Amino acid sequence: MAHLHGKHRAGDGVEMRYEPNGSGVSFALLALAVLVAAVPVSGQQTLFNVPSADVLGPTQVYLEEDNLWRSGRPDDTFFTGRGVVGLGDHVEGGVNLGGFVARGRTVPTGTLELKWQPLHNSEWSLTGGVQGLFYLRGGTDGSPSAQLYAHAAWVPRDGTRITAGAWYATSGFADVGVARGALAGFEQRIAPALNFQADWFSGKNGIGYFTPGFALTLGKWVLYGGWSLKNGEPHENAALLEVGLNL
């Protein structure tokens, strides 16, 4: 099945995500590119929120920019930037820069991520990872936190993949206290360059969303569009638009 590179926002703290405008966005993207080039051990690929069963090959690089927008609250727009590097032996690492908002107070964060796939064949794979969230201005904005996850993915036929697993997060990552739950994902190729995909984190917390949508591949570029449905809190539903680049 074709690789499906995704994204989103686990690892941006209890409050979901990001976006500055103007020079703030440009600075964040520049900083992201520098970090990816200089620190090849640090985001990772996701569907929308859930880490995918894809792992970049050695020295491969993936960059992404995500935008979240809530209908009825056009000022409630967020931005994050992501860079991922393949480290070899079915390991990839990356860094996210988040916490940027269109209006209001920005709380910049950095998330270092590592994904490992110890088992994989044409039908099954087992993937695990860790994400560490840090506040770039130090402890005045919040304390560091982390998430661990593991999932199995099954390819019942070419073009279809089903993912299921579990996650655990320390205080401050997804909720005020410790949080844990299930995760799931579904991917279906519907045309050579077009995929339907959906993912879900359980629970009423900062990452508890069900997001269905589409991914369109245009050469090295990937365009994503989805609708994020907050578990039990429909007023927090939001549109998600993402742009990815494979280098």
Give the mean model confidence (pLDDT) for residues 185-199.
97
pLDDT at residue 36 tops 50: no
pLDDT tens digits along 49-61: 999 999 999 999 9
Q: How far apart are CA 173 and CA 141, in angstroms?
A: 13
pLDDT at 15: 44
Return phi, psi of residue 10, to 5°. Answer: -55, 135
Give the mean model confidence (pLDDT) for residues 186-194.
97
DSSP-assigned states of every residue in 44-91: --BSSSSBPS--PPTT-EEEEEEEEEETTEEEEEEEEEEEEEEEETTE
* Entry pTM: 0.81
**94 pLDDT tier (thresholds 50, 70, 90):** very high
Can you list the domains of the chain with their CATH numbers? Answer: 23-246 (2.40.160.40)
State both tokens at 76. Answer: 């409630």
pLDDT at 74: 60
pLDDT at 12: 52
pLDDT at residue 25 tops 50: no
pLDDT at residue 1 tops 50: no
- Please provide the size of the chain in residues: 247
- Residue whose C-alpha is closest to residue 97's, from 43, 173, 50: 43
State both tokens at 167. Answer: 């996650």
Give the mean model confidence (pLDDT) for residues 86-99.
94
For residues 145-165, one letter each, b for 16 or more C-beta atoms within 10 angstroms of the residue's C-beta and e for the rest, the string is bbbebebebebeeeeebebeb
pLDDT at residue 172 tops 50: yes
Structure-model confidence comparison of residues 43 and 204, the more confident one: 204
Give the mean model confidence (pLDDT) for residues 204-217.
96
